[in-house]
């Protein structure tokens, strides 16, 4: 009996299925509702099920795996070039089958429930942080129109606005006082929610050995460590630290031909959230390195790059090195040990 490959185009309510018994040929098509989707896989023989790594795909992947099938998730942006002509569910399912034949397209690992919990907490915190920033900028802009200027820094906004609202002689129009007070309360509430998420992440981190090892690396704290585990999972699936940093987009973009090799700015591929966290951590390491009387080898290397290439390039280079160190820590299952600069 031939082994069959089943491609699934996932949607909210309707699922398009294309069954292939040999490469390049679709022998059967089905269109199922969400209530009949899992039931279909209980009626067919063990197969390889292909899906795009999109919304709800990790949940369906776990459920289908429990039924004995092999599930492969493909990156959506690499499946798109295989779709010809118009976009519809049938064409998407056929494109998934064609993309699976390309051995250079690496599948996306199916996330566990624990990973999705970590990533969900990070997304909630980021959403609240963006809303908080928007409210702060709105308050700044409105007061600037009235000739009231607030110093730089988010920490100055709420105390300064509350003082203006409570001061009857501040010159603030009475019609704005109630609304500005509500805006300050909203900002404080958002900050409280962000702190609660950080407490939840800290409690979960105590139960994950990989996070405990990652936080020993300079520049990698609770947020970065839990994000690495939640969004990426096991770093050992990368062949080397260089492949991992390339996955995060922390390597130069190449545009070469023949004997001419051109390297430009970083590619910015991969997860922008983790790349941002690593870059901020690298800037913190650079700031601390300049204030150490006896810097270790990592800080000494960062200061040398900063002196020769500038602060921004040094920060990106150090973020690349932190990503490689994180890969080595997870691969060797050890903690980071700083080494002194040789005399």
Over residues 247-267, the pLDDT tens digits come to: 999 999 989 999 899 988 999
For residues 120 and 273, give the distance between their C-alpha atoms in angstroms, rounded to a whole number.
13
Residue 221 φ/ψ region, left for φ over 0, alpha for ψ in the -120 to 50 degree band, beta for the rest? beta
Q: What is the pLDDT of residue 85?
A: 86
Is a pLDDT exceeding 90 seen at residue 2?
Answer: no
End-to-end CA distance of the chain: 69
pTM here is 0.90
- Average pLDDT value for residue range 103-119: 94
For residues 130 and 190, give the distance between their C-alpha atoms in angstroms, rounded to a whole number.
10
More confident residue, 168 or 126: 126
Q: Is 235 helix (H, G, I), strand (E, B) or coil?
A: helix
> What CATH superfamily classification does 5-100 receive?
Ribonuclease H-like superfamily/Ribonuclease H (3.30.420.10)
Q: What is the pLDDT of residue 342?
A: 63
- Average pLDDT value for residue range 202-212: 95
Domain residue limits, the chain: 5-100, 113-205, 209-332
**Count of C-beta atoms within a 10 Å radius of residue 333:** 10
Alpha helices in the chain (DSSP H): 34-41, 57-66, 76-79, 89-100, 113-145, 157-166, 174-205, 209-214, 222-227, 241-247, 272-289, 297-309, 311-332
- Average pLDDT value for residue range 69-74: 96
pLDDT bracket for residue 341 (50, 70, 90): low
Is a pLDDT exceeding 90 seen at residue 197?
Answer: yes
- What the block records as the tokens of 147 is 């000739």
Average pLDDT over all residues of the chain: 93
pLDDT digit string (tens) for 308-318?
Answer: 999 999 999 99
For residues 180 and 291, give the distance between their C-alpha atoms in angstroms, rounded to a whole number.
40
- Average pLDDT value for residue range 196-213: 96
- What the block records as the tokens of 298 is 């990592």
pLDDT bracket for residue 291 (50, 70, 90): confident
pLDDT bracket for residue 293 (50, 70, 90): confident
Tokens 């959230």 belong to 273
What value, to the nearest 5°, has the Cα angle with vertex 312 and ends 323 and 123? Answer: 50
Share of the chain above pLDDT 90, in %: 85
Q: What is the pLDDT of residue 340?
A: 67
pLDDT digit string (tens) for 221-251?
Answer: 999 999 999 999 999 999 999 999 999 999 9
For residues 143 and 159, give the distance between their C-alpha atoms in angstroms, rounded to a whole number.
14
């Amino acid at each position: 009996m031939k082994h069959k490959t089943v491609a699934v185009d996932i949607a909210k309510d309707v699922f398009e299925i294309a069954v292939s018994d040999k490469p390049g040929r679709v022998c059967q098509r089905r269109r199922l509702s969400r209530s009949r989707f899992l039931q279909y896989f209980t009626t067919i023989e063990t197969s390889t099920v292909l899906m795009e790594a999109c919304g709800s795909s990790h949940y369906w992947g776990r459920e289908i795996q429990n039924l004995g099938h092999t599930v492969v998730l493909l990156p959506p942006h690499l499946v798109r070039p295989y779709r010809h002509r118009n976009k519809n569910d049938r064409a998407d399912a056929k494109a998934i089958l064609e993309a699976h034949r390309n051995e250079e397209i690496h599948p996306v690992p199916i996330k566990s429930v624990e990973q999705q919990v970590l990533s969900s907490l990070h997304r909630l915190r980021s959403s609240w942080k963006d809303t908080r920033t928007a409210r702060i900028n709105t308050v700044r802009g409105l007061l600037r129109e009235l000739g009231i200027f607030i110093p730089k820094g988010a920490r100055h906004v709420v105390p300064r606005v509350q003082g203006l609202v409570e001061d009857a002689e501040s010159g603030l129009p009475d019609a704005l006082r109630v609304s500005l007070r509500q805006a300050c309360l909203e900002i404080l509430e958002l900050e409280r929610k962000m702190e609660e998420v950080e407490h939840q992440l800290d409690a979960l981190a105590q139960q994950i050995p990989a996070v405990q090892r990652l936080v020993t690396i300079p520049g990698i704290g609770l947020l970065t460590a839990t994000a690495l585990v939640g969004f990426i999972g096991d770093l050992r699936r990368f062949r080397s630290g260089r492949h991992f940093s390339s996955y995060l987009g922390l390597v130069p973009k190449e545009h070469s031909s023949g004997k001419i090799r051109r390297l430009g700015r970083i590619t910015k591929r991969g997860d922008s959230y983790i790349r941002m966290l690593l870059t901020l951590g690298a800037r913190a390491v650079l700031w601390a390195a300049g204030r150490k009387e006896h810097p270790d080898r990592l800080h000494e290397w960062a200061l040398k790059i900063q002196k020769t290439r500038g602060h921004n390039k040094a920060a990106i280079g150090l973020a690349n090195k932190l990503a490689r160190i994180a890969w080595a820590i997870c691969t060797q299952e050890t903690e980071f040990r700083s080494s002194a600069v040789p005399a």
